[in-house]
Amino acid sequence: MKIRFWGVRGSIPSPGPKTVRYGGNTTCIEVRSDAGELIIIDAGTGIAALSQNLLAEMPVNAHVFITHTHWDHIHGLPFFLPFFVPGNKVKLYGAFDLITGQGVQQVMEVQMQYSYFPIREAELRAAIDYHTLEIGESVEFGDVLVKSTLMNHPVTDFGYRVESNGKSMFFSGDHEPWYNIYDPEDEGYAEFQEMIDLKQSVLDDFVREVDLLVIDCSYTTAEYPSKRGWGHGTFAGAMALARRVGAKKLVCTHHEPTRSDDELERVFAEALEQQPGADGGPEIVLSREGLEIEI
Amino acid sequence: MVGTQSTDIERKIGFAIERMPAFPRSVQRVLELTRDINCRPKDLVGVIEKDPVMTMRILKVINSAYYALPTRIASVSQSVVYLGINTIKSLSLSVAAAGMLPNSNLAGFDTRRYLIHSLATAGVARQLCMSVGHEDNDAGDSYVVGLLHDFGKVVFSQSFAADFRKALALSAEEGIPLHEAERRLIGIDHAQVGAMLVAKWTFPAAIVECIRDHHTSGVASSVLRDSLLVADQICRGLTKEDIPVDWEGRSPDGTTRFGDNMASIIDKLGNLKKIIDEARDFAQVEHSK
């Protein structure tokens, strides 16, 4: 399985001289199975560059998995060129939105409206199929199995585990580890803690011994307290998870948009220093645009 | 409750609940709290779990087929774990947008007294459940069952106002239990209606059965059921302004789980005044400034 990162930035594209090395595009990850199946996780602005690359291999048959519907994970979608070319097949997967009562097709309908984009979904030439996933639903195609699990973010958010030919990778989407909304002296504290411990253990089992773990590491431990409830995790939390579940490699992603390349390297080095792992633990790296990993 | 009549009632009730406004204090508090971007999740949960309408709506969504969780969810705080506080906030705001449940209605049903009774029953049922301990007994379930056991009455007051008014009058005139009067005049009682709703929304089975059977005698005993029946009886008098409570005599449906008679149960529970005062305080209508 080959994994390539096309967008690694969180929240908003952040191009400029200070982000050249790691890149300013928002989340998009390409996964290729050994048999050549194309899986794309999230459609941030990184998908535009990926789709340029796909022009050379038309017709494409793409399986696009959306972790959640916040802009930075979908706003590259109208620029996904394979949509415009007859003969291509694109299948879009994602969660049901409880508040709007809409399935995954809303990420297209909402963005491709007259006021926001000149082309309507109906005018696209590829064969487009929508698959609204239930919680925990798995899908299988070719030599690939994709499993979903519910994460913690201010909108329904799925983490995806892609398995193929004995190898596996997991992407968290945006995720803040569950935290107790009560204070230790509150009556509801113990019960709530029990529920989130259970939820965490379910996630741990879901990602156990994965070959590649790709996790939202927006914040440092010092930054986190003022960002609690925003739906993002920390370097330290991701490192602890990777070590706990026996992941082979951890890629820290969803970089904070105001963080320069130098600053990103500094906080990453600091996090590694503060969380020294035992020998034989997972290799831990920062995601960057163009990073390719073979597992 | 057979055939097309029950289907009609179910359809009518299911439709009514979508637009049912919540209680004034919770609507005010939700609007206040959600104006602050740093609103504390536990404050919001604290308001929602005191309102039967908001609680119903959130448990309905989280247990819906669209969400398809492997386990059934019976508490608002548990819903926060699965839905996240932002979704809970959005859902509570959509309920708040439907306005406030008026204190007076065409049925002549006192929604404020209903709320005091439901909240106090919930609090006492939770305390009773906790008093027997054991990890299989979920105090949260006892609370929810206490809060929602009479929900059918609010539904009647909103959707079957004329018939419910007659049922209230018949119950008072003939001195018969309200659920009997409801069955005679509406064809279904509030316990069945409450159960019908929570069953339709796939709440945990134990909760459905407990609400359905809370006026049926001879049903198999459980901590959930007994805590509701005893709490219901303790809080019955609270629907009046003063507290002429019959806290004497045997406990309902022959349960001795919490003690031999009501007086000893009350004695063991200790200070119920706090639960009752909190319920009264929450049900108090605040006029907007």
Backbone angles phi, psi at A37, to 5 degrees: -65, 140
Nearest chain B alpha carbon to A194: B78
Q: pLDDT category, B105, cuts 50, 70, 90?
A: confident
B201-215 pLDDT, tens digit per residue, is 889 999 999 999 999
Residue B122 C-alpha, separation from nearest chain A C-alpha, in angstroms? 15
Q: pLDDT category, B200, cuts 50, 70, 90?
A: confident
Residues of A in contact with B82 (CB under 8 A): 150, 199
Question: What's the CA angle centered on A181, arms A175 and A187, to 5 degrees?
Answer: 150
pLDDT value, residue A140? 98
pLDDT value, residue B11? 78
Determine what percent of chain B is predicted with pLDDT higher than 90.
57
Q: State whether B66 and A192 contact (CB < 8 Å).
A: no
Backbone angles phi, psi at B287, to 5 degrees: -80, 140
Residue A68 C-alpha, separation from nearest chain B C-alpha, in angstroms? 13
Residue B288 has pLDDT above 50, yes or no: no
pLDDT value, residue B68? 77
Q: pLDDT category, B9, cuts 50, 70, 90?
A: confident
Domain spans in chain B, listed from the N-terminal domain onward: 21-96, 111-283
**Greatest C-alpha distance within chain B:** 54
A123-177 pLDDT, tens digit per residue, is 999 999 999 999 999 999 999 999 999 999 999 999 999 999 999 999 999 999 9
Q: pLDDT category, A203, cuts 50, 70, 90?
A: very high
pLDDT value, residue B286? 55
What topology is assigned to B111-283 in CATH? Hypothetical protein af1432 (1.10.3210)
Q: State whether B86 and A135 contact (CB < 8 Å).
A: no
Q: Is B157 helix (H, G, I), strand (E, B) or coil?
A: helix
Average pLDDT for residues B38-44, to the nearest whole number? 94
How far, in whole angstroms, is CA A163 from its chain's centroid? 16
pLDDT value, residue A169? 98
Task: Give the closest of A98, A99, A136 to B70, CB-based.
Answer: A136
User: On the CB side of B212, how many CA atoms lie within 13 Å of its CA?
Assistant: 16
ipTM metric? 0.90
Q: State whether A96 and B66 contact (CB < 8 Å).
A: yes
A161 forms beta bridges with A147, A170
Q: pLDDT category, B71, cuts 50, 70, 90?
A: confident
Single out the residue of B67, B25, B22, B8 nearest to residue B288, CA to CA.
B25
Please count the helices (runs of H) and the strands (runs of E) in chain B.
16, 0
Average pLDDT for residues A219-233, to the nearest whole number? 97
Q: pLDDT category, B2, cuts 50, 70, 90?
A: very low
Task: Give the closest of A101, A188, A231 to B77, CB-based.
Answer: A188
Domains and CATH numbers, chain A: 2-294 (3.60.15.10)
- Chain B interface disruption, residue of A133, A156, A180, A193, most B CBs within 10 A: A156
For residue B18, what are the contacts with CB-CB under 8 A and spacing of at least 6?
none
B59-68 pLDDT, tens digit per residue, is 999 998 777 7
A20-64 pLDDT, tens digit per residue, is 999 999 999 999 999 999 999 999 999 999 999 999 999 999 999
Q: State whether A98 and B84 contact (CB < 8 Å).
A: no
Task: Give the closest of B67, B82, B86 to A154, CB-based.
Answer: B86
The whole-chain average pLDDT of chain B stands at 87
A75-130 pLDDT, tens digit per residue, is 999 999 999 999 999 999 999 998 898 999 999 999 999 999 999 999 999 999 99
Residues of B in contact with A178 (CB under 8 A): 81
pLDDT value, residue A278? 86
Single out the residue of A20, A25, A30, A33 nearest to residue A8, CA to CA.
A25
pLDDT value, residue B1? 45
Q: State whether A181 and B87 contact (CB < 8 Å).
A: no
Single out the residue of A7, A126, A4, A105 nearest to residue A62, CA to CA.
A126
Range with lowest mean pLDDT among A240-254, B4-18, B77-91, B186-200: B4-18
pLDDT value, residue B244? 43
Question: Residue A167 belongs to what H/E stretch?
Answer: strand A167-171
Edge-to-edge, what's the strand order for the sheet holding A144-150? A138-141, A144-150, A158-164, A167-171, A212-216, A249-253, A283-286
Average pLDDT for residues A224-233, to the nearest whole number? 96
Which residue shows structure tokens 């459905």? B208
Residue B6 has pLDDT above 70, yes or no: no
Residue B289 CA to residue A151 CA, distance in Å, equals 41
Average pLDDT for residues B166-190, to the nearest whole number? 94
Residue B15 has pLDDT above 80, yes or no: no
Question: Residue A5 belongs to what H/E stretch?
Answer: strand A2-7
Residue A273 C-alpha, separation from nearest chain B C-alpha, in angstroms? 32
Residue A68 has pLDDT above 80, yes or no: yes
Q: State whether A178 and B81 contact (CB < 8 Å).
A: yes
B144 forms beta bridges with none
Average pLDDT for residues B221-234, to the nearest whole number? 92
A259 within 8 A of A294, measured Cβ to Cβ: no
Residue B255 CA to residue B276 CA, distance in Å, equals 23
Average pLDDT for residues B133-149, to the nearest whole number? 88
The whole-chain average pLDDT of chain A stands at 97
A261-280 pLDDT, tens digit per residue, is 999 999 999 999 999 988 88
Which residue shows structure tokens 């519910």? A150
Residue B128 has pLDDT above 60, yes or no: yes
A169 within 8 A of A34, measured Cβ to Cβ: no
